[in-house]
A = this chain, B = another copy of it.
Amino acid sequence: MLHTESNYSRLTQFLPVVGWLKTYTRQEFNSDVFAGVITAILLVPQGIAYAILAGLPPQLGLYASILPPVLYALFGTSRTLSVGPVSIAAIMIASALNAPEISALGRPVQSALILSAESGIIMLVMAMLRMGGLVNFISHPVLTGFTSGAALLIIGSQLPQLFGLKTPSCGIDTACYSQYLSGIVPAALAIGLVAIGLLLFFGKPLVLILKKIGMEVYLITAISKCGPLLTIIAATVAVDYLDLHVATVGNVPSGFPELTFDFLPLEKWYALLPFSAFIALIAYVESVAIAKVTANFRGEKISPNQELIGLGIANISAAVSGGMPVAGGFSRTMVNFSAGARTQMAMLIAAAILALAVIFFSPWFENIPKAALAGIILVAIVPLVKLKNIAHTWRYDRGDGIAELATLLGVLVYGIEEGITLGIILTVMSHLRKTSQPHIAVVGRIPGTSHYRNIKRHSVETWPHLLLLRIDESITFANINYIEEFINVEIRRQPGLKHIVLIFTSISDIDTTALEMLENLNHSLQSANITLHISEAKGPVLDKLEKTDFIKQLQPGKTFFHTEDAVRELCGLN
């Protein structure tokens, strides 16, 4: 029985879907159906829009909304995360496809599928290496700076679409620009602006109005989330009826996505590797961040490593079914959650609706005006630009503010991957700088006790030939220079010094660099006739030191169990 139980728990660990299916209720199903329909209504325009944002045919976004969420539903640990095409990944895909070394290889659709497959494989490898904790190493300021920068890039790419313009290639030729701007298509601009107006109206204003007339909450949610779909239908109908000449989505192949294995050229895999790595990293970090937010609301638990597996398999399935790379989308997950989704059943239903839409409604997508899609993207993206946040971060923590600003500027000026790298380097440097100055206390004995406390805060006994130092952090390459310098200053301050006792209560590790520097320090102290001792070292630290001959080198210096023992012996109090 116990054996079966452990097999079962291992099964739910690898296949979290089993966990909630076991106790799934009729009531949960009703909630999930409602949320699934709402999310599907959002997924259709988002899928098309984000594929176009990535510079890909629309079906790559639609296909990415079918198989990947199904597989995430089986393997992922979040019950409400909506996996599918997302704007930030879309701009990263666009950046990869536009890189000279990638566009030279041709066939952008194939490149996009390789990005899906490769980022999925990278996530699985990270899961095998138990690198789920990697999410720790991308700090919030870097993530925020990156998101703002990517959102600005997206806005820059969508404004021409809104104006009906082709993407410019004028460079710094200002004469060209004035000619370029004369190409504005008024009909497109009108559609785009009306679309933005409609979408904004479907936000707060409509909700307030419906609340006032006393409509039930679930109906309000349903109606307000139909904004993007209704906007697109209205725009498409308008183009058709008014016979407007604006750019439209164009041919979308009908029917189910066929399983494809069109991603074999190894040369491309190699060229796309850095881009895939960054897409995997950001897709993972963003997804886990969103999954955690909704999980926290309901006291559910996210397993970072299992998330790597779920998202990895989802991305590989995207590649196989002809879809672009996927991640958990922030706004869509919040819609799914607030529409009442209880489990991933909601996303299974949404995926089924998407599949039906692709089979039966594909021809209708053809005439969607691009300006309306640009409107949808802009309304979704503008709130992600959080420039004020930089000032806020800057005031709270200078180092973090610099990292956030540098990431934003790096993304805008050098590119997405370069910006993220710069941000990570700056965060790590600022972190190392901070940890390179550990707290060190000169301590003395509280009279009549065997307690040792900071001489700056307590009135304590000290001895002119004895220096007691408590180092409040593990000793590593990052702080050993500071510690050495601190000790040297104290030695100059106390001319009659004969013994230094390092109190190791807070030290849980000494790395190789620190050990070698301590050996050098001990050596030069010995030539100055000062003996170094250690007290209160923890077991593992002593074990580690005993693998070396440091303790032998200390002689006549000793390792004491208690600081009190050291003081008694070195002051001859015994």
Chain A residues proximal to chain B, CB less than 8 Å? 133, 135-141, 292-293, 296-297, 299, 301, 304, 393, 395-397, 399-400, 404, 427-429, 431-436, 439, 472-474, 476-482, 488, 506, 508-509, 511-513, 515-517, 520-521, 523-524, 527-528, 544, 547-548
The 8 nearest A-B residue pairs measured at CB: A296-B524, A139-B477, A400-B512, A140-B513, A139-B513, A136-B481, A397-B512, A140-B516
**Cβ of A516 to closest chain B Cβ, rounded Å:** 5
Q: Provide the residues of chain B in CB contact with A511, threshold 8 Å.
A: 139, 397, 399-400, 431
Q: Shortest CB–CB separation between residue A76 and chain B, in angstroms?
A: 19
A-B contact pairs, 15 of them (CB 8 A): A133-B436, A133-B481, A136-B477, A137-B478, A140-B517, A141-B512, A296-B527, A299-B528, A396-B548, A397-B511, A400-B512, A400-B513, A404-B512, A431-B511, A435-B474
Q: 19 extra interchain contacts, Cβ-Cβ under 8 A, other than A296-B523, A396-B515?
A: A133-B436, A133-B481, A135-B481, A136-B436, A136-B478, A137-B429, A139-B512, A292-B520, A293-B520, A296-B520, A296-B527, A297-B524, A299-B527, A301-B488, A304-B481, A393-B512, A397-B512, A431-B432, A431-B511
Chain B residues within 8 Å of A133, by CB: 433, 436, 481
Report if A396-B544 is in contact (Cβ < 8 Å); known contacts: A139-B477, A516-B140.
yes
- In the complex, what residues of B have CB within 8 A of residue A296's CB? 520-521, 523-524, 527
Which of chain B's residues have a CB closer than 8 A to the CB of A516?
140
Check if B477 sits within 8 Å of A427, measured CB to CB: yes
> Which of chain B's residues have a CB closer than 8 A to the CB of A479?
136
In angstroms, Cα B135 to Cα A506, docked, is 25
Of listed A299, A301, A488, residue having the most chain B CB within 10 A: A299
Residue of B nearest to A477 (CB): B139
A133-B430 Cα distance, complex, nearest whole Å: 12
Our pick among B301, B404, B509, B517 for the contact of A434 (Cβ within 8 Å) is B509
- Please name all residues of chain B whose beta carbon is closer than 8 Å to the beta carbon of A547 when the two chains form the complex: 395-396
Q: Give the distance to chain B from A443, nearest Cβ to Cβ, in Å.
A: 15
Min distance, Cβ A134 to any Cβ of chain B, angstroms? 9
A506 CB to closest chain B CB (Å) equals 7
Residues of chain B within 8 A (CB-CB) of A528 are 299
Could you tell me the distance between the alpha carbons of A527 and B293 in the complex, rounded to whole angstroms? Answer: 13
- Measured CA separation A404–B513 after assembly (Å): 11
Complex CA gap A488/B292 in Å reads 13
* Chain B residues, Cβ within 8 Å of A399: 511
- In angstroms, how far is the closest chain B Cβ from the Cβ of A307? 13
